[in-house]
Amino acid sequence: MSTAGKHENAASAPRILFYAVGANPAPWLADLQAALPDASLRVWEEGDDAPADYAIVWKPPAAMLAGRTDLKAVFNMGAGVDAILQLGDALPSSVPIVRLDDAGMGVQMAEYVTHAVLRYFRRFDQFEAQQRNGQWRFLKAFEKDKFAVGILGLGVLGSRIASGLAPFGFPLHGWSRTVKQLDGVTCHSGAAGLDAFLAASQVVVCILPLTDETVGILNRETLGKLPRGSYLINVARGAHLVEADLLALVQSGQIAAATLDVFQQEPLPPEHGFWQEPRITITPHIAAVTLRGDSVRQIAAKIKRLQQGLTVEGVVDRARGY
Ligand code: OXD
């Protein structure tokens, strides 16, 4: 088929490959078909190298995308693109990778983090422990102006977390790789700004993308720079945290408690030390799930734009890693 012929065909009836680890494809295909009635959709299976215009994926195998220069875009069905970028050279360099922009995840992240911050601030974690021991004991409230929340990562989700916390009046700090400005947030940036950010934060919330620069960023040294008795909330990736360091810091009292949604290995293995540490709250990577309705609407709208030769938001910068 000539290139022109291929393009005409793509413009009238996009051919879409779908592959998502852990998801039932049927309702996704049905919703995508309803949003894009002309599209021809199929679930990718090993050996399928028939032409396609778009791929919608979550944790795809390298074989699905290797050599696929016919694609006009690959849509990642999540906010984090680390799993797809780790395919490296198997990804066709000419094909844009498009992540989900919020798509209902921002509000879920804000709910999760606000809940965790308020739980620590109002000392519910300690009241829960007291209840287990049948103890009725008044605990003095923390002082809000000394309970600053620091958000590591000020992208779409980090900003949404900040706006979720803002009405409660906590001092807010934020850290990002490059300089950013956010209303009501004291912003720090770059390697030079990290220490001041850490020193100011009584609670650290990690919502960074996972890149070569951020892997292991939460470790004995950085967490040791937080005020003594601070809290950690990790809703980004398990690989941001050196888990053995956190355990030691919780046991020494440097970190009072942590709420973790993501782990180096998921599911968290039964023998992992976190399970036995009551000051560590574990959730099974549910802080923000991909919502089918919002995601389909967003991806379909972007496919329609690309079909018309227009640009779309959310294209991943591969060199930067997000
Ligand atoms: C995501 C996730 O990246 O669910 O969207 O972890």
Q: Is the pTM of this model over 0.75?
A: yes
Question: What count of other Cβ atoms lies within 10 Å of the Cβ of residue 177?
Answer: 20
85 CB less than 6 Å from ligand 1? no
Q: What is the pLDDT of residue 11?
A: 61
Q: For residue 262, how far is its CA from the centre of ligand 1 (angstroms)?
A: 10
pLDDT over 70 percentage in the chain: 97
Low pLDDT (below 50) residues in the chain: 1-10
Q: For residue 153, how far is its CA from the centre of ligand 1 (angstroms)?
A: 15
Dmax over CA atoms of the chain, in Å, equals 78
Catalytic residues: 237, 285
79 CB less than 6 Å from ligand 1? yes
114 vs 76, 160, 166, 174, 199, CA distance in Å? 27, 11, 10, 15, 21
Question: What count of other Cβ atoms lies within 10 Å of the Cβ of residue 30?
Answer: 13
CA atoms within 13 A on the CB side of 26: 0
Tokens of 309: 């030769």
Domains of the chain with bracketed CATH: 3-103+290-307 (3.40.50.720), 105-282 (3.40.50.720)
Beta bridge partners of 280: 258
- Summarised one tens digit per residue, pLDDT across range 287-314 is 999 999 999 999 999 999 999 999 999 9
Provide the 3-class DSSP secondary structure of residue 206.
strand
Cα 74 → chain centroid: 18
Q: What is the pLDDT of residue 9?
A: 45
Q: What is the pLDDT of residue 4?
A: 34
Q: What is the pLDDT of residue 141?
A: 85
The answer for residues whose C-beta is within 8 angstroms of residue 214's C-beta and 6 or more apart is 208, 240
